[in-house]
Structure 1
Amino acid sequence: MTALDERVDPLALEHQVCFALAITHRAVLAIYRPLLEPLGLTHPQYLVMLALWDRHRSDESGRPLTVKEIASALQLDSATLSPMLKRLEALGLITRTRSVSDERAMDVSLTKAGINLRRKALKIPPAVIERLGVGLDELEHLHTMLTRINRAALAGGALEGDRA
């Protein structure tokens, strides 16, 4: 790690990674909002659906995801996830049932409507890329860097207090 230039104020707002990430977070979510509206989804609900669509496509046995697995994949606690799942169930996109193998666990499965919604959602990634006006290679590099930062933060104990 290199030392900071002494002429640069280490507390200058424009040099803060947290500030750049916070602004980017709000701006990117503002791009997603009108794209997700026609699907009837909020961005957090979209992330849940992405996790479920991933499972549906990759697991030929049709095994559902548990609430715990979804929470882990999204780095959320169950208390945050539960209202989203209730709303998705009310929308007819998922079902929640007690696990047969562990009565303490709740299984989450896509309904036919939830499976079919994926076709409409396929339009979202290219629309986001177009609206960002950034090349795919740049976005892939950003994704790689953010994933590396997230792993390091999680390894350092980030979010441990958030998930019980």
Structure 2
Amino acid sequence: MIDLGENPLALDRQVCFALSVASRSVIAIYRPLLKPYGLTHPQYLVLLALWDSAPRTVKDLCETLRHEPATLSPLLKRLETLGYVTRGRNRDDERALSVDLTDSGRALRKEAEKIPYRVVEELGMDVAELEALHAALSRVIAATGRNS
């Protein structure tokens, strides 16, 4: 049996608590950085996926971002209203909705390149430490993906 110590229910020992607080804290760093562009953090994640590869289908974005279509749809509508993306039927498959960057969405990428540097600066952590954290979180994501 795994030994979790004397008090396995201590709040400060819970992985879920640490992840929750860390997530909220890191996302709070992004808020003022994204505000000038009218973006929320979830919208920024959509743009990151599109800057990596565009156009993409909504289904592909859902899989990449691990969102349900009902969650992603309002984000895409807002990004379209902001002028960063367009949505339309896929030419190869009329049933699929395709999302592409507009010229403004593509131009925003150059500005957004500054954001990761500002986040690292705000965190005050060594890049190697953040890379190790990312690797550990990627293993957590992979492990939880097997069980869902």
Name the TM tier (shorter chain).
over 0.9
1:136 match: 127
| SS state at 2:91 partner | coil
Deviations 1:46-93 (A, max 9, x none): 00000000014xxxxxxx100000010000000000000000001111
Relative to the length of structure 1, the TM-score reads 0.88
* 1:1-164 aligned within 5 A: 2-5=2-5, 8-56=6-54, 64-157=55-148
Which runs of 4 or more aligned residues in structure 1 lie more than 3 Å from their structure 2 counterparts after TM superposition? none
| SS state at 2:119 partner | helix
d(CA) in 2 for partners of 1:102 and 1:139?
A: 40
Uncovered stretches (5+) of structure 2, i.e. residues with no partner = none
d(CA) in 1 for partners of 2:138 and 2:119?
A: 19
Q: Is the 8 A contact 1:31 1:131 kept in 2?
A: yes
Uncovered stretches (5+) of structure 1, i.e. residues with no partner = 57-63, 158-164
Structure having the higher helix fraction is 2
d(CA) in 2 for partners of 1:122 and 1:98?
A: 30
Deviations 1:10-68 (A, max 9, x none): 00101101001111011001100001101211000000000000014xxxxxxx10000
C-alpha displacement at 1:2, in angstroms? 4.4
d(CA) in 1 for partners of 2:142 and 2:4?
A: 24
AA partner of residue 100 (structure 1): R
Larger RCO: Structure 1 or Structure 2 (Cα < 8 Å, ≥ 6 residues apart)? 1
Overall identity of the aligned pairs, in %: 55
Give the aligned CA root-mean-square deviation in angstroms: 1.0
Aligned length: 148
d(CA) in 2 for partners of 1:30 and 1:86?
A: 23
d(CA) in 1 for partners of 2:2 and 2:124?
A: 32
